[in-house]
A and B are shown apart, each in its own frame.
Chain A
Amino acid sequence: MDEIVNDFLIESNENLDRLDQELVKLESEPSSKELLASIFRTIHTIKGSCGFLGFTRLEKVAHAGESLLSRLRDGLLTLNVEITSGLLAMVDAVRHMLGEIQATEHDGEDDYPELREELARLQGSNGVPAASPPAAVFSPAVFSSEEAPSSKEVNIAVEVPLVVTAVSPSAAGPPQILAAKPEAVALPAKAVSGAEGKPRRPSSGKLGALLVERGSLTAQGLALAVQKQEGGDQRPLGEILLGLGLCQAQEIQETQQILDSRDRESGTETIRVGVNVLDRLMNLVGELVLARNQLLQVSSNTQDPGFQAVSQRLNLIATELQGEVMKTRMQPIVTIWNKFPRTVRDLSQSCGKQVRLEMEGQDTELDRTIIEAIKDPLTHLVRNSMDHGIETPEARRASGKDGTGILKLRAFHEGGQVNIEISDDGAGLNSDRIRQKAVERGLISAQQSAAMADRDVFNLIFLPGFSTAEKITNVSGRGVGMDVVKTNVEKIGGLVDVHSTPGRGTTVRVKIPLTLAIIPALIVTCSGDRFAIPQVNLLELVRLEAEASEKGIERVHGVPVYRLRGRLLPLVYLNRELQLPEQDLDDDGVVNIVVLQADGRQFGLIVDEINDTEEIVVKPLRKQLKTVKTFAGSTIMGDGRVALILDVMGLAQRANVIAELREDHALGEKAVAAATMEKRRYLLFAGPGDSRMAVPLDTLARLEELPASQVERAGTHWVAQYRGQILPLVNLEFALQERRRYRQQSKFAASESGAPLQVLVCNYQGRAVGVVVEQILDIVEDAAEVKYPASRPGVLYSTIIQEKVTELIDIPAILSSAGLDSAPGLAVTSAAEAGS
């Protein structure tokens, strides 16, 4: 394709994306002259270019939009929903035609007569009819935004008479006449720009605006100076301001410097680079990293200090270069989010909802390939929130909420991954409805549904074929989508999770890796070959020494399992799955288990040897081998040999770890729930007066021993400093007594004797709280089947553990009665800390 046309397409497509955003933004601040000017300029640029390139149909459409915009800009019309929709439709039409040009190098047959008519009609829709030439409205402030000064600006100035023609009452007439004009006018315009001669000071508007922004100048002061300038004052704005005594010279100088540096940044310091060049660069860096790995291996075998020093330096440089090149491929997430204001606006219109879109962390950067991969899932999640999450204004008001719903997008880095949250303050997920629907659709059985926790119920929405939408809308609700979201996110090594509070809203959190090109991986050996396991799938490593391995690996009807902290972990032998010859086990009989996670399910992979973690460069497998699902790709190791990267998901499927899960997901949950009911781990401790007490171990965060000297007082609470936070302490002895006595709690009995305090640390309403007990006795596993009603508050029930009657303590009740219900602000901050 013609290079000029190509450039035009790239530029115009970018401009159109910006138009979408700006139009939506304009709707919320219709008086923003800057926005209007920018929109106008963009459309004008497109129009001008297509006139030049001979795309007359496209030009006609753009022209119709431009005419409408000029009336808006001149204040003859005020923006309303109808006009915005018209303009957005125009943007869509232009986009469609650009697509046509891309495909056929021709702007298509359709010249959108209806759209143009509509736009023409909108011109006369409200406000006063066109009258005076708009020159009076034409203040430099209109051009105060960041666009570089050039012939473009002059162009617009000269274009004004044409625009007037367009908005004059005859404008609704045959557009062909108008269409012919711009070409004729636009070209001379360039000529005039030089001949016009009047030195423009494009930065004056910007300077003024920035001065106001910096607080050095009042808006009135600026208006005064601008007026003077328009009145024929030839001096630059800065001088005028100085002359009027409105500003300090130093301030003007500083501001000018900022402007200059901004110009530099936006102008000469960025260049356009083709994506293919970046990809190639990335490949080369990948090669370099591999060569570096090889070199390091060689250098570790030599004694030559000079060589070692050089290879170390090369190592550092390569690492740095890798980082920098990765940066070039990074794009802020806002490149996807940019589309959402428009999506949200359109959907609010069509669903009759009021939604405010909030974004946080727009600058969070992700690799280009990942940006591509999450674009659709995110769009789907946004649409879903709009359609199912946020209620209609009436429903919202009925439940005491503001009529306008809030859709919040949040992105942030955490632990080498990027988290993206899509939250709405809508009705939340209805766990009963989900249960009911899931049973109706045969996804789970009724008993299964009853045994499931809400959190697991929410995750049912990611199953294929699930939808609770009452009616199928064109937005969503067809039951495809959430599962696609999940699959797509998992394809790039990410995770999706959903949280919901009925009546308060839903949050979907997507966790994705930063990049796919170079990843950290664990290298293992199996039957003499090395395999790489992506670190994201890795949970932990377990090494069983000879004796332990004999006892540790048990069998469920022949299927090997391992008890990992009391839970059965299914074991998969890598060599058997890959049909590799079984290696003679070393005489030491050590078993290495790599605990992996796939699709929320854990399993242990038994390998011959665990080598090391390494940064590997992922090289996709060729098409011929794509069908082998157990491998995600290949890489080249330090010694130059090829190693395969295991696809943990594929491996799990092959080993039936997941298939089993898919069928028996809920059953498994139920079994686990049942198992925990039958046998649960309890912490046994001595309570006041030698009574035996217990709490389920999984309700505790950890056990601590705090020296008595650490106990301090904060108001009515006893506290201790714990991991940089203040840990409120509750003495169980007092808490179990009657409430009025609790308030007068004195120093801890234990602390008087100077012995350390035994503290059960638990998370309560998002923060850590310590419960002081007399003495920790034991951790036991017991069914605790017998239940005897509690005799005092703070006790759930009495039961028999290890053949002794034991009181089961209700920790939340105790903490609540101790006045530890957290203040909202406190809970938020400590929850955030706990999460980080």
Chain B
Amino acid sequence: MAHTSQFCTFYLDGLLFGVELQGVQEVIRNLEMTPVPLAPGVVRGLINLRGQIVTAVDLRKRLELQPLPADAHPVNVVVRSEDGAVSLLVDEIGDVAEVEQSSFERAPETLTGPVRAMILGVYKMDGRLLHVLDKEKACYVGEPEAAAAAAAR
């Protein structure tokens, strides 16, 4: 049997993304979200995950994609990061994909900008490409906008 790895897949703006299954804690829908004023823009808010307070990152925003329509309910993909659990908000959850190592390819040089650092590469699947997300980088929310706003004042 060829060397394979498992990915938890999800959709963002029509694209198929995946993070390594081992790093995923759980997938949850419909959680109340408390916004955090002055926090970096990619922080959508805080969720109560059975008593644990988890930061939810707007992955569309993080990946510089179009914002999700206001009436849509994103799904929380809770991953274990170096700084504890973080929820990545995705449009829709996909299947667990088992992919062969041999089908991996790095992102083309033409993909530039900050997004490049977050996408490790792609797996060539039947009919589509699975974008592999760097979990740690995706969870990083950067400096708060408050600082920038204060500077601008």
On whether the beta carbons of B34 and A644 are closer than 8 Å, the reply is yes
**Nearest CB in chain A: distance from B15 CB, A:** 24
On whether the beta carbons of A630 and B146 are closer than 8 Å, the reply is yes
On whether the beta carbons of B32 and A627 are closer than 8 Å, the reply is no
On whether the beta carbons of A631 and B53 are closer than 8 Å, the reply is no
On whether the beta carbons of A622 and B83 are closer than 8 Å, the reply is yes
A578 at the interface (CB under 8 A from B): yes
Evaluate whether A624 and B55 lie within 8 angstroms (CB atoms) in the complex, with A630-B37, A642-B34 already known.
yes
B51 at the interface (CB under 8 A from A): yes
Contact with B along A624-640 (1 / 0, CB 8 A): 11011111001010001
Evaluate whether A619 and B53 lie within 8 angstroms (CB atoms) in the complex, with A628-B39, A630-B37 already known.
yes
Number of interface residues of A (CB under 8 A): 26
On whether the beta carbons of B143 and A627 are closer than 8 Å, the reply is yes
On whether the beta carbons of B37 and A624 are closer than 8 Å, the reply is no
Evaluate whether A636 and B53 lie within 8 angstroms (CB atoms) in the complex, with A622-B83, A641-B32, A642-B47 already known.
yes
CA distance A581 to B83 in the complex (A): 31
B94 at the interface (CB under 8 A from A): no
A529 at the interface (CB under 8 A from B): yes
CA distance A741 to B60 in the complex (A): 90
CA distance A104 to B118 in the complex (A): 39
Closest to A639 in B: B32
Evaluate whether A287 and B147 lie within 8 angstroms (CB atoms) in the complex, with A579-B38, A628-B39, A641-B34 already known.
no
B108 at the interface (CB under 8 A from A): no
Evaluate whether A628 and B53 lie within 8 angstroms (CB atoms) in the complex, with A578-B37, A579-B37, A641-B34 already known.
no
Chain A residues with CB under 8 A of B43:
624-625
Closest to A641 in B: B32
Chain A residues with CB under 8 A of B144:
625, 627-628
**Nearest CB in chain A: distance from B106 CB, A:** 28
A443 at the interface (CB under 8 A from B): no
Interface residues in B35-78 by Cβ distance below 8 A to A read: 35-40, 43, 45-48, 51, 53, 55
Chain B residues with CB under 8 A of A644:
34, 36-37, 46
CA distance A71 to B70 in the complex (A): 84
A623 at the interface (CB under 8 A from B): yes
B141 at the interface (CB under 8 A from A): yes
CA distance A577 to B79 in the complex (A): 32
On whether the beta carbons of A628 and B32 are closer than 8 Å, the reply is no
On whether the beta carbons of B38 and A630 are closer than 8 Å, the reply is yes
Chain B residues with CB under 8 A of A624:
40, 43, 55, 83, 86, 139-141
Evaluate whether A290 and B51 lie within 8 angstroms (CB atoms) in the complex, with A624-B140, A624-B141, A630-B146 already known.
yes
Name A's interface SS. mixed
CA distance A286 to B50 in the complex (A): 12
B14 at the interface (CB under 8 A from A): no
A671 at the interface (CB under 8 A from B): no
B149 at the interface (CB under 8 A from A): yes
Interface residues in B93-145 by Cβ distance below 8 A to A read: 139-141, 143-144
Closest to A627 in B: B144
Closest to B35 in A: A529
Chain A residues with CB under 8 A of B53:
619, 622, 634, 636, 642
On whether the beta carbons of B147 and A627 are closer than 8 Å, the reply is yes
Chain A residues with CB under 8 A of B47:
642
On whether the beta carbons of A622 and B55 are closer than 8 Å, the reply is yes
Chain B residues with CB under 8 A of A579:
37-38, 149
**Nearest CB in chain B: distance from A285 CB, A:** 11
CA distance A636 to B46 in the complex (A): 10
**Nearest CB in chain A: distance from B82 CB, A:** 9
**Nearest CB in chain B: distance from A716 CB, A:** 66
Closest to B32 in A: A641
Interface residues in A592-627 by Cβ distance below 8 A to B read: 619, 622-625, 627
Chain B residues with CB under 8 A of A631:
36
On whether the beta carbons of B143 and A625 are closer than 8 Å, the reply is no
CA distance A629 to B35 in the complex (A): 15
Chain B residues with CB under 8 A of A636:
48, 51, 53
**Nearest CB in chain B: distance from A619 CB, A:** 5
Contact with B along A50-89 (1 / 0, CB 8 A): 0000000000000000000000000000000000000000
Residues of B participating in the A interface, judged by any CB pair closer than 8 Å: 32, 34-40, 43, 45-48, 51, 53, 55, 83-84, 86, 139-141, 143-144, 146-147, 149-150
In the A-B complex, the 10 residue pairs with the smallest Cβ-Cβ separation, listed nearest first, are A578-B37, A642-B34, A642-B46, A287-B51, A624-B141, A623-B83, A627-B144, A641-B32, A628-B144, A619-B53
- Other 20 A-B pairs with CB < 8 A, given A622-B84, A629-B146: A578-B38, A579-B38, A580-B37, A623-B83, A624-B43, A624-B83, A625-B141, A625-B144, A628-B38, A628-B39, A628-B146, A630-B37, A630-B38, A636-B51, A636-B53, A641-B32, A641-B34, A642-B47, A642-B48, A644-B46
- Please list 11 pairs of residues, one from A and one from B, whose beta carbons are closer than 8 Å in the complex, sorted by A's number: A619-B53, A624-B55, A624-B141, A625-B36, A625-B43, A625-B55, A628-B38, A634-B46, A634-B53, A642-B32, A642-B48
